[in-house]
Structure 1
């Protein structure tokens, strides 16, 4: 397990992730607040009614619990993460009537095809050992007509991007170029693909056609 993944599995990080670590690090990386990211997530996923939602690599549940507030009776958010420390924090701080948490591997999701109306992964794909396999799994469990949304790292196709990629790789982080996820989504047959770049972060969402 590389340094980045060890850090994300540490109980000490789980304790401060939602209130301090994520807001500070992601603001530096993107210029965006957690509140802005959460509101945009609701819009990107088109949350409404009794939808079934998967929040992949949910961490301490800071997004999963927020998203569940936009669902009606019958709707439910499943937060999945690999870290026991993060899941313990999620259960303690972000439980609710329309959200629950499960431990699992993003590369082999324990759900049937087309289980969810919306699937998301915010700020974690660059940590997963095989992020493209995880993205394909997200698409597999998304029902026709459903929405997928991710936020992940971004690098420019220039010398600075090359140096940044090498430096990030020393700790186990991946930086993705502009085409990786739009191309993957298009190859899987997704439509309405939209990408926004903010500093070192990219936000990509799409629809699985009916």
Structure 2
């Protein structure tokens, strides 16, 4: 499945790690760079995707569009995008897309594995990537440690400090999703011959962390689940 093992390097991991503080300061720059990395990751996992029908589930305000300019790219959002719709009930026919991917959306929907099933239904190849709650970035903008004391605590502390609630409000637009949950869903929904799971922001030699219960919840940070259609 992986054609260029050199893509998942320590250098790439450090570059991504150093870019995270820019999300709030310069979101256009942050998400444009992340979109380019996502495009390269998809081609590493799936092969060339130029000209293919691509569905981006939760594509946001359009930062990913340029990275997929040579594809038939459709972005779905609850309140925007090319198509307005619920990720848990995708308004598309079975097998409508060659590739369906989602970048950091599963932790923002109440039923992420319903979303996952829908992605499998409408897509051929599927790549679902999401933030692990117990990882350092699980609280998103509410802090690197505050969410370990509870999502409500992190939300309320942010509101008190900044004078307004966070964009990602625990229990409403952000939920505690574990690594183990995603792996259990993948085991149920995807045949072993078509499945791959790994930590998105880690170098290739650190992928073993996904296999260690407990440790994976703290250190995987972002889990990628791949269905490479036969």
TM-score by length of 2: 0.58
Alpha-carbon spacing, 1:67–1:130, altered in 2? closer, same or farther (3 Å): same
Please give the secondary structure, in 2, of the residue aligned with 1:184. helix
Partner residue of 1:201? 221
TM-score by length of 1: 0.63
Alpha-carbon spacing, 1:208–1:186, altered in 2? closer, same or farther (3 Å): farther
Partner residue of 1:10? none
Structure 1 residues 1-210: aligned runs within 5 Å: 20-21=26-27, 35-69=36-70, 71=71, 76-84=72-80, 87=81, 101-143=82-124, 147-156=125-134, 163-164=149-150, 167=154, 169=170, 172-190=173-191, 191-196=194-199, 198=201, 201-210=221-230
CA RMSD for the aligned pairs? 3.2
Mapped partners of 1:18, 1:83: distance in 2: 21
Structure 1 residues 147-187: Cα deviation after superposition (integer angstroms, max 9, x where no partner): 21122111349xx7853556463564123222222221221
Contact (CA 8 Å) 1:151, 1:201: kept in 2 or not? no
Mapped partners of 1:33, 1:156: distance in 2: 22
Can you give the 5+ residue segments of structure 1 that lack an aligned partner in the other structure? 1-16, 27-31, 88-100
Name the structure with the higher strand share: 1
Mapped partners of 1:18, 1:47: distance in 2: 32
Larger Rg: 2
Mapped partners of 2:221, 2:79: distance in 1: 23
Name the structure with the higher helix share: 2
